[in-house]
Structure 1
Amino acid sequence: MTVEGSDRYMREAGAADPLERMISTLRMGDGVDAGIANGIEVAVQRWRTLPRAQVAGRTRSGRTTVARALGLKHGAETAPVDEPGFPDPVLDADIIIYVLASTPSPGDRRILAELPPERTLLVLNKADAIGTSWADAVAAADQYSRAFGLQAHPIVGALAAQTVAGALREADLALLRRHAGNGSLSAVSAEAFVSPAAGPDTEQRAELLDRWDLYGLGCALAALEREPGLSPQTILQILHTASGIEPVARLLGLRYQQAISRRAGGLVDELTRLAARAVPQGQSRARALITEYLATDEASWLGLCGGLVDPEVSHLAAGYPQPEPADADDALARAIRWRAVVASDMSPAARRAAVRVHNGYVRVWERMSSVGL
């Protein structure tokens, strides 16, 4: 499920920030409180740090191209995996995008078997080179999805990266319009595309082929054959869609939201542990202040979002279109359902996550129904 909204409290630190106020107050206390303040600050900084993504795969799988196509920062790609004589890179990011561009090697299989599904995206790059049609690439992706327990997506990373970074010029479009319907240009051959037999613009066609590849140009020519008046921007959107990158980009956005939600739950868990460690003595206020914060709407919501994406119980929230209930009745129904989940036989970690969700929906129901006012 999509868990959005867990970043609503990821504000810049300032005077109105209850967590920063708590840290400042505890720093002015005795040694115990100052130590607890340090622990809170580390937990808050970890939560407020943007999730990190890695793009991994074997040599020539297209890691850098896929990273560009998804708008990731330079350096997101790792060293190649399964490289003879070199150790595999450490894949420890919040989100791991694993790129296949051919039949998985034993090294690919070993690494994919170890990656956590909730943090991993699997893409089958260079899909235009698989079989004779896009359906063949989809079938291969489905096969890998079943083999690795990860949803695999076929993409043409080079085309996707070009649609993100470049634009289709009017001169390019005019050339393509001149050749739309020319059967020789849609042949599965770069040599046929740049053949002098197609006309005097051989050099321009070669330059287009270098930028857009045969698959992209074939898609553009097919679109123009059906509708010659398409604009450059429309053609660019068609190519972007044909690259297969859009479902991957949406899933990446979902994974970012889930990573933020997991960190929100981690913050609440860490504050709970720090409160348990803060044994009241003398003028110490750590336990009281942390407990006061954990009772707020903010902490309740962060715990709820974290619980919904916890791998132990996330499947139980698969039917929720969003974490916020539609109304008070929906909030109450969710609270009752999660109370039953808490009462079921489950691991301590799963029960802790379910309790967070139950308590969060109880709090939302109280606010929506005015019971808590």
Structure 2
Amino acid sequence: MDDQELDRLIERVHRCDPEIGMALIAAVAEFRRPMRVQITGREGTGRTTVATALGLPEIVETDPVDSPDFAEPELDGDVVVYVLAAGVTDADREALRSVPAGHAMAVLNKADAVRGDCPSVLTAANEATKVLGVRTLPLVATLAVQATASGVTTTELGVLRALASADRPTLTLSPDLFVAADAPSDAGSRRALLERWELFGVTAALAALQRNPQLSGRAVTQILNAASGIDAVRTAMSTRLRRAASLRGGRFLDTVERLAARALGSGARDELEGFLRSAAAAQIGLEAAWASPSIEGVVADHALAVPADAAQALQLARWWRNYAGGDVGAPGRRAALAIHHGYVRAWSSLGQHG
């Protein structure tokens, strides 16, 4: 919404009731506060590397969870990215229980070390999702950092092409076998590849070059970046950030409603209630309802649909009304009805201007 609209609201409310005005200033400041992402997890899971791979200025790395040397971190970020590196422990479950619903996601880092092949890694991540109740994505953060920082060099590409042409299935069974094998290129060159790209990255690069030996160094780097899983993690985190911002908007509206109730017998109440009836407040409420954890399974990663015309708005309103009438629980029903009312408002507006 327009920042100036809120600034004008603050001025009007403060003139009517300075105490309510000061409370509104604090509420608006919280609403406008920059988003904060916390990276957390137990020691040795690669929290720092994950933070580097994600590369966002709003990321804060917490002290480790379940460590005798540190107090338990307060997980109060707008988004909390929980880093796993093996099986889920009781400490992981306990830490994530402290995060408000809708604000957490997890990454299974060092995914290449969990199980050997990509299908097995995805299975491990899905198992963690079921156990934790929080979406968990596989990630090889070291590979993501390396692919972003510096691509496959001409020398490395030459070594990889030679190894790919040899087509030896046992070459990448273990780091020791990779270095010691009787294969094209010297052991020092192969060791250097492992130091830069690890066995997981080398295996992915060789598979790509076996399919297409003419791939450029840039293309192989892009394949390694994709194999790391970082794109999916970044997309999920962006979705989580967007939802966290929407949930914050819902809390802001709740605060404004409480302030309006406190402002009995003053013009401040009329000003606040006028804002709550505005199109801007309706949009904030609609986005907050869409972000509700109670309907996350329905909306998945989809953004809030913006109806193109009155007919589509009416269709969406009816769908959400029907959904609210099902066995969805009280929180889900409230969110669905809020979305329904939002689309009814859109239908009315589009119908008037259509």
SS in 2 for 1:56: strand
Aligned pair 1:242/2:224, yes or no? no
- Identity, % of aligned positions: 37
Shift of 1:34: 1.9
Deviations 1:187-215 (A, max 9, x none): 22323333495466544433332121111
Aligned pair 1:38/2:25, yes or no? no
SS in 1 for 2:173: coil
Aligned pair 1:265/2:250, yes or no? yes
Partner of 2:237: 252
Shift of 1:230: 0.8
Matches of residues 272-283 of structure 1 in structure 2 within 5 Å? 272-281=257-266
What is the RMSD of the two structures over their aligned residues, measured on CA atoms? 2.9
Find the aligned partners of 1:62 and 1:353 in 2 and give their Cα distance. Answer: 37
Find the aligned partners of 1:359 and 1:214 in 2 and give their Cα distance. Answer: 54
SS in 2 for 1:370: helix
Counterpart of 1:334, as a letter, is L
Counterpart of 1:140, as a letter, is A
Shift of 1:350: 6.1
As a proportion of its length, which structure holds more helix?
A: 2
Deviations 1:154-177 (A, max 9, x none): 221211222222222223222322
TM-score (structure 1 length as normaliser): 0.83
SS in 1 for 2:128: helix
Counterpart of 2:5, as a letter, is P
Partner of 1:215: 200
SS in 2 for 1:54: strand
Partner of 2:317: 335
Shift of 1:353: 4.4
Aligned pair 1:323/2:305, yes or no? yes
Report the CA distance shift for 1:74/1:338 in structure 2 as closer, same or farther (over 3 A): closer
Find the aligned partners of 2:301 and 2:77 in 1 and give their Cα distance. Answer: 27
Find the aligned partners of 2:185 and 2:213 in 1 and give their Cα distance. Answer: 21
Worse-matched range after superposition: 116-125 or 187-196: 187-196
Find the aligned partners of 1:316 and 1:208 in 2 and give their Cα distance. Answer: 44
SS in 2 for 1:98: strand
Report the CA distance shift for 1:165/1:47 in structure 2 as closer, same or farther (over 3 A): farther
Find the aligned partners of 1:218 and 1:94 in 2 and give their Cα distance. Answer: 37
Counterpart of 1:290, as a letter, is L
Deviations 1:250-283 (A, max 9, x none): 11111011011111212222222211211234xx
SS in 2 for 1:72: coil
Match of 1:193 among 174, 178, 192: 178
Find the aligned partners of 2:83 and 2:250 in 1 and give their Cα distance. Answer: 29
Count residues with an aligned counterpart. 353
Find the aligned partners of 1:184 and 1:354 in 2 and give their Cα distance. Answer: 53
Report the CA distance shift for 1:52/1:275 in structure 2 as closer, same or farther (over 3 A): same
Partner of 1:304: 286
Find the aligned partners of 1:342 and 1:235 in 2 and give their Cα distance. Answer: 49
Find the aligned partners of 2:231 and 2:56 in 1 and give their Cα distance. Answer: 14
Partner of 2:66: 82
Aligned pair 1:61/2:48, yes or no? no
SS in 2 for 1:298: helix
SS in 1 for 2:293: coil
Shift of 1:355: 5.1
Contact 2:137/2:233 (8 A) holds in 1: yes
Aligned pair 1:24/2:11, yes or no? yes
Counterpart of 1:269, as a letter, is D
Find the aligned partners of 1:264 and 1:316 in 2 and give their Cα distance. Answer: 21
Contact 1:142/1:152 (8 A) holds in 2: yes
Partner of 2:89: 105
Counterpart of 2:25, as a letter, is E
Counterpart of 2:305, as a letter, is P
TM-score (structure 2 length as normaliser): 0.88
Find the aligned partners of 2:117 and 2:329 in 1 and give their Cα distance. Answer: 46
Contact 2:12/2:268 (8 A) holds in 1: no
Contact 2:163/2:185 (8 A) holds in 1: no
Q: Unaligned regions of 5+ residues in structure 1, if any?
A: 1-8
Contact 2:41/2:83 (8 A) holds in 1: yes
Find the aligned partners of 1:232 and 1:323 in 2 and give their Cα distance. Answer: 40
Match of 2:209 among 209, 212, 224: 224
Contact 1:36/1:278 (8 A) holds in 2: yes
SS in 1 for 2:306: coil
The structure with higher relative contact order (CA 8 Å, sep 6+) is 1
Aligned pair 1:357/2:339, yes or no? yes
Contact 2:79/2:240 (8 A) holds in 1: yes
Find the aligned partners of 2:206 and 2:301 in 1 and give their Cα distance. Answer: 42
Find the aligned partners of 2:122 and 2:76 in 1 and give their Cα distance. Answer: 29
Find the aligned partners of 1:333 and 1:216 in 2 and give their Cα distance. Answer: 48
Shift of 1:107: 1.6
Shift of 1:221: 1.7
SS in 2 for 1:194: helix
Report the CA distance shift for 1:139/1:344 in structure 2 as closer, same or farther (over 3 A): closer
Q: Unaligned regions of 5+ residues in structure 2, if any?
A: none
SS in 1 for 2:233: helix
Partner of 2:352: 370
SS in 1 for 2:142: helix
Match of 1:153 among 123, 137, 149: 137
